[in-house]
Amino acid sequence: MHRDGVDQADRRVRFGEGALARGARTPSNAPMRVPPVVLLLAAFAGMSLGCAPGARDGAPRNAPLKIVILYADDWRHDTLGCAGNPVVRTPNLDALAAGGVRFTRNSVTTAICGVSRATMLTGQWMSRHGNQAFAMFRTPWSETFPARLRTHGYWVGHIGKWHNGRFPAEEYDSSASALANGTHWIKQPDGTTIHVTQKNERDAIDFLRTRPTDKPFCMTVAFFATHAEDGDARQYLPQPASMSLYRDVAIPVPPTANDAALRALPPFLASERNESRRRWRLRFDTPERYQESMRNYYRLATEVDAACGRVLDELARQGVLEDTLVIFTTDNGYFHGEHGLADKWYPYEESIRVPLIVRDPRMPAARSGTTIDALTLNADLAPTVLAAANLAPPAGMQGRDIAPLYLAADHGAPDPAAWRDAFLYEHPTIQSKDFIPASRALVCRDWKYIEWPEFGVEQLFDLRADPGETHDLAAEPAQQPRLAEMRRRLEGLAESAR
Ligand SMILES: [Ca+2]
């Protein structure tokens, strides 16, 4: 019943099938419903107003875009073929990036499912939305992007994983398929089982086929994959049809997946009481287990990629792909054994950086297939979606509309004066400081300052010289002025995040 999941993705690579792989968005043949002159005007508006939020104000308005957010779980920035990963096959997401723009320095402000999803919905840091783990956030629902869209006439649906307390079904037009499960295989009412990625895809396509066609829609597809199945020692349970994928591939072991990097961590992270180490033992503690875990993890990713391809094919079949803002992103990154760790939570790059691919029909054709390295965040998603619907963000929303970064026709880097050059990362204690300790960080383009408040420990990394973050410079006498400045700046951002 799910045999064609990966096969179809493979065919697309070989034969160029599928709406995106056919090159529907190449500059010369992009079938746009919006007249090119309108796009041109929008592009000029974006240029002249720079990167300020609400830069489209005063510009000729396009119709509100339809919105599809493809949202995967525990999937870091480089688990994409188009991001240079030498193993994982993601032909549909690669095609999405080829017809859109990929943000290479996109991060989450908190790397754990529930908190990051609350930020995605509210456009706020944890300090403001108040969800410290997996409960409902304290921000009024009316200030979330789904609520604003629905109030303004959108048909709004949430498919798949929900990790913010009780799912508020009454706030959505279509929500029968919101899932609270944490398993890869789901028992259905008729006694059969279905893989969670298949169910996510099926529910998404049902939403698209049953929506009213006289109003715009917004659909979030929250895939459970590539999250591990926490209660199963095997951790990753892909579909049988995927098992031939990567079977003969030797997955490269990251350069910092070793004992030396583990010993370089603060001792409370290198401790066997730390949950990241327990999960490392489940997944990565022998070379054989490392290979098997990563193969299965990448199989789950390729299954999500194929599901995304079929959702996009459905948009194309309905003739609405060129009216739709499509976003692919995820809720947090993931350690693949780097530093001797597994999972996420901590402020290192593997854990906080996530993919962000945006395909926007307003985008100048010359932007197709380009990348942008501005420091974008999960907090930017809500205001970006609202702006695409011609709606202003609520006053308490803290992220910024990223569209001005790609609506400008030139390929240059964003004006550093017009976009953030640093951001606050924050993570709560989960259970206890020994299990998952709290952390904060100031992340700049080239430097990162990390604070572990429960242990009074600080770290400082030169990201340019030391991208693996294995040489802590916090004790270096020459770095004390920088350390003091970064401490001060972190406090300032933390204050304004509340
Ligand atoms: Ca997650």
* Contact assessment for residue 252 and residue 87, using Cβ atoms and an 8 Å cutoff: yes
367 CA → ligand 1 middle, Å: 30
Q: Which two tokens stand for residue 141?
A: 């629902």
74 CA → ligand 1 middle, Å: 4
- Alpha carbon distance 344, 332 (integer Å): 7
76 CA → ligand 1 middle, Å: 10
Domain ranges of the chain: 2-421
Partnered with residue 179 across adjacent β-strands are: 161
* 375: confidence class by pLDDT, cuts 50, 70, 90: very high
33 CA → ligand 1 middle, Å: 36
With a cut of 60, say whether residue 43 has pLDDT above it: no
Q: Which fold has domain 2-421?
A: Alkaline Phosphatase, subunit A (3.40.720)
- Cα–Cα distance list, 309 to 17, 57, 233, 329 (Å): 10, 33, 30, 15
Q: What is the mean pLDDT of the chain?
A: 88
This prediction has a pTM of 0.88
Whose structure tokens read 């990753």? 236
Contacts of 111 (CB under 8 A, 6+ apart): 332, 333, 344, 345, 346, 347, 351, 352, 425, 427
309 CA → ligand 1 middle, Å: 22
- Alpha carbon distance 82, 99 (integer Å): 12
112 CA → ligand 1 middle, Å: 5
Could you read off the pLDDT of 339-353 as tens digits, one per residue? 999 999 999 999 999
452 CA → ligand 1 middle, Å: 21
260 CA → ligand 1 middle, Å: 27
135 CA → ligand 1 middle, Å: 14
Q: Could you give the percent of the chain with pLDDT greater than 70?
A: 85
449 CA → ligand 1 middle, Å: 23
- Alpha carbon distance 184, 2 (integer Å): 14
227 CA → ligand 1 middle, Å: 6
Could you read off the pLDDT of 223-263 as tens digits, one per residue? 999 999 999 999 999 999 999 999 999 999 999 999 999 99
64 CA → ligand 1 middle, Å: 30
With a cut of 80, say whether residue 401 has pLDDT above it: yes
Could you read off the pLDDT of 47-90 as tens digits, one per residue? 222 222 333 333 344 789 999 999 999 999 999 999 999 999 99
